[in-house]
């Protein structure tokens, strides 16, 4: 307990899935947490859960692509909690399907949230982290940002951009004491994957059974949001003080090689 005691974290897309698990975990370990999302009801419920457990948190409605809103939200975080030490740039969307039929509007929307939103998360938090004497930026990418996949060209392009954005920022900010790392989840049973095209040939937007998903993972089951949050906690804590520009892959072995298939 207390791995991030006294720190202040900002979690985008924190109302559900990986973001909610990150917010709850960071709060449990002593951080004060600003949670933002488009889903007000779920976001406020996460705050209520944190406060019920004795933690400190606040929720604000946010579209991460809205550049004008960012400075005020970070300033409000500093006003409420005194500083900013941790930025978890988690908000993202997935629009899966063949590149041949994907509209340019969908491709651009995916990049607006997954790349531009992450860029704005990082850029706006830099001055606050400098005022705090350093910090940790954690950019949520994906295994899709490490390798290509059919029907995921647009999503993979956006998540690959996040990977190299993290490395470039790590070099720019190293002397400021600001660490920047990317996290690469594999298959997670969250809202995104529940609507994803099956890696075993299912149709677009077909809900997937956890067994089918698990058959694509060498260890035999999808990861959970909590398993990703555990990795985020490590990168947010002082235990990872010498890690920057790194990729933390939490994928059950997907990127290690061939995957299993149902027998």
The token duo for 133 is 């004497």
Contact 222, 252 (CB under 8 A): yes
Contact 32, 239 (CB under 8 A): no
Alpha helix segments (H runs only) across the chain: 17-28, 40-52, 70-81, 104-111, 117-132, 153-173, 191-194, 210-214, 225-236
The residue annotated as part of the active site, out of 155, 166, 199, 240, is 155
For the beta carbon of residue 80, count every other beta carbon within 10 angstroms.
14
211 in catalytic set:
no
Exposure of 151 in the CB half-sphere (CA atoms within 13 A): 12
Contact 59, 36 (CB under 8 A): yes
Give, for 107, the enclosing helix (H) or strand (E): helix 104-111
Question: What is the dihedral angle through the alpha carbons of 226, 228, 233, 239, rounded to the nearest 10 degrees?
Answer: 130
Catalytic residue annotation? 155
């Amino acid at each position: 307990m207390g791995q991030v005691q006294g720190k202040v974290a900002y979690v985008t897309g924190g109302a559900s899935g990986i973001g909610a698990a990150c917010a709850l975990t960071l709060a449990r370990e002593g951080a004060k947490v600003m949670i933002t999302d488009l889903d007000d009801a779920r976001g406020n419920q996460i705050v209520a859960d944190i406060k019920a457990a004795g933690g400190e948190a606040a929720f604000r409605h946010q579209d991460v692509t809205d550049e004008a809103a960012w400075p005020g939200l970070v300033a409000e975080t500093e006003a409420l909690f005194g500083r900013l030490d941790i930025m978890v740039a988690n908000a993202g969307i997935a629009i899966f399907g063949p590149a041949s039929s994907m509209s340019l509007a969908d491709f651009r929307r995916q990049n607006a949230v997954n790349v531009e939103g992450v860029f704005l998360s990082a850029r706006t938090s830099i001055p606050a982290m400098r005022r705090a004497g350093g910090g940790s930026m954690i950019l949520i990418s994906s295994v899709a940002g490490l390798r290509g996949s059919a029907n995921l060209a647009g999503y993979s392009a956006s998540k690959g951009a996040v990977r190299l954005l993290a490395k470039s920022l790590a070099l720019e900010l190293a002397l400021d004491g600001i660490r920047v790392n990317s996290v690469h989840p594999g298959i997670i049973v969250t809202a995104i994957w529940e609507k994803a095209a099956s890696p075993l040939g299912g149709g677009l937007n077909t809900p997937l059974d956890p067994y089918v998903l698990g058959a694509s993972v060498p260890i035999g089951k999808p990861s959970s949001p909590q398993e990703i949050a555990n990795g985020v906690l490590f990168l947010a804590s002082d235990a990872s003080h010498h890690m920057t520009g790194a990729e933390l892959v939490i994928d059950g072995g997907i990127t290690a090689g061939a995957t299993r298939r149902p027998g």
